[in-house]
């Protein structure tokens, strides 16, 4: 190649480079993520911590537990009260126990025996009264004893007849309502106990641990932060003047220091209002310009980028 041609070649290469840059402008952004803060609804002392920063976790895996002694005792008490209420309801539904029925049978037999004796005494005194052997007062007393014995027999018979009957409907309804209320109390106690142990709501990575074993965790305070799989996103900023060149569903190239080639993402949303370039984007050329925030979902290996990592974004043509 002759030396005289070199300047022309250099000029063509520069023009070609400017053409690519104009067609696919280089934008600036960073990796962000939607974290899940896992805490407890009620305050308590941290008793176990199953994870540390950077640990991978699966959905449903236990992350930590709080002191649950009070909740365990409350559950045991609620279960005992429910068992007692159920026993009372069963007693109302089934009537007397066999032992109680045997007592009633014995009382009826005793009343009938007393009636038999009273009947014989009255018959004898009546015959004697006809022969004027006994006084009328003696006959009257025999008659009163006979009536009393007959009344006791009737009472004993009625008690025995209702021994196998259930209680009154209103008592049964009240007992059933008591059982339902105590069953609800058991469910509430079980829920409170279960909430002392917190599990991962999604598979991902533990990003931060805020408390250690033995520390008191306030109600509603996060103990760990979880970075779920697929929660990463690419945030970059498009000059307001080129807003029309970006649209949801458009794929973009992701470039960063030390990253492999071929990383990409898909535009998910675009802000409706312009803003000044945030300080985290270190681009002197665009710092004083209005930009629109764009959020893109990373694809493939781009999902492994760390949150906070700065990236450059190059727009791709629709057919790419």
User: Can you tell me the distance from the alpha carbon of 18 to that of 218, in angstroms, rounded to the nearest whole number?
Assistant: 58
User: Can you tell me the distance from the alpha carbon of 152 to that of 118, in angstroms, rounded to the nearest whole number?
Assistant: 12
Q: Give the pLDDT of the chain (320 residues) as one tens digit per residue.
A: 434 433 333 333 333 334 444 456 688 899 999 999 999 889 999 999 999 999 999 999 999 999 999 999 999 999 999 999 999 888 777 766 677 778 878 888 988 889 898 898 888 888 877 777 777 788 778 888 888 888 888 888 877 776 666 667 788 889 899 999 999 999 999 999 999 999 999 999 999 999 999 999 999 999 999 999 889 999 998 888 788 888 899 999 999 888 888 999 999 999 888 776 665 555 555 444 678 889 999 998 888 888 989 999 998 765 44
User: Can you tell me the distance from the alpha carbon of 71 to that of 44, in angstroms, rounded to the nearest whole number?
Assistant: 11
Claim: this prediction has a pTM higher than 0.75: no
List b or e across 275-285, with b for residues whose CB sees 16 or more CB atoms inside 10 angstroms: eebeeebeeee
According to DSSP, the residues that pair with 233 across neighbouring strands are 32
Of 237, 300, 271, 235, the residue nearest 31 (C-alpha): 235
User: Can you tell me the distance from the alpha carbon of 240 to that of 251, in angstroms, rounded to the nearest whole number?
Assistant: 19
CA-based radius of gyration for the chain? 45
């Amino acid at each position: 190649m002759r030396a005289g041609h070199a300047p022309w070649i250099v000029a063509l290469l520069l023009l070609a480079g400017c053409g690519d840059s104009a067609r696919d402008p280089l934008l600036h952004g960073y990796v962000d993520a939607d974290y899940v803060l896992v805490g407890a609804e009620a305050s308590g002392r941290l008793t176990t911590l199953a994870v540390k920063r950077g640990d991978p976790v699966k959905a449903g895996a236990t992350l930590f537990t709080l002191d649950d002694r009070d909740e365990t005792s409350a559950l045991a008490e609620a279960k005992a009260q429910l068992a007692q209420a159920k026993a009372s309801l069963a007693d109302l539904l089934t009537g007397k126990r066999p032992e109680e029925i045997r007592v009633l049978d014995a009382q009826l037999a005793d009343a009938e025996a007393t009636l038999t004796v009273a009947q014989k005494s009255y018959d004898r005194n009546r015959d004697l009264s006809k022969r004027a052997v006994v006084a009328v007062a003696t006959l009257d007393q025999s008659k009163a004893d006979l009536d009393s014995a007959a009344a006791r027999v009737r009472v004993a018979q009625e008690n025995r007849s209702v021994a196998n009957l259930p209680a009154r409907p209103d008592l049964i309804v009240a007992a059933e309502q008591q059982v339902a209320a105590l069953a609800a109390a058991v469910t509430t106690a079980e829920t409170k106990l279960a909430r002392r142990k917190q599990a991962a709501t999604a598979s991902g990575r533990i990003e931060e641990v805020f408390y250690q074993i033995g520390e008191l965790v306030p109600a509603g305070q996060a103990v760990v932060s979880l970075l779920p799989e697929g929660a990463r996103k690419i945030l970059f900023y498009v000059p307001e003047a080129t807003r029309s060149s970006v649209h949801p569903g458009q794929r973009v190239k992701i470039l960063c220091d030390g990253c492999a080639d071929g990383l990409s993402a898909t535009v998910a949303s675009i802000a409706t209002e312009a803003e000044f370039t945030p300080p985290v984007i270190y681009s002197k050329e665009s710092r004083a310009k209005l930009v629109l925030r764009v959020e893109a979902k990373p694809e493939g290996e781009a999902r492994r980028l760390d949150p906070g990592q700065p990236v450059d974004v190059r727009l791709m043509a629709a057919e790419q």
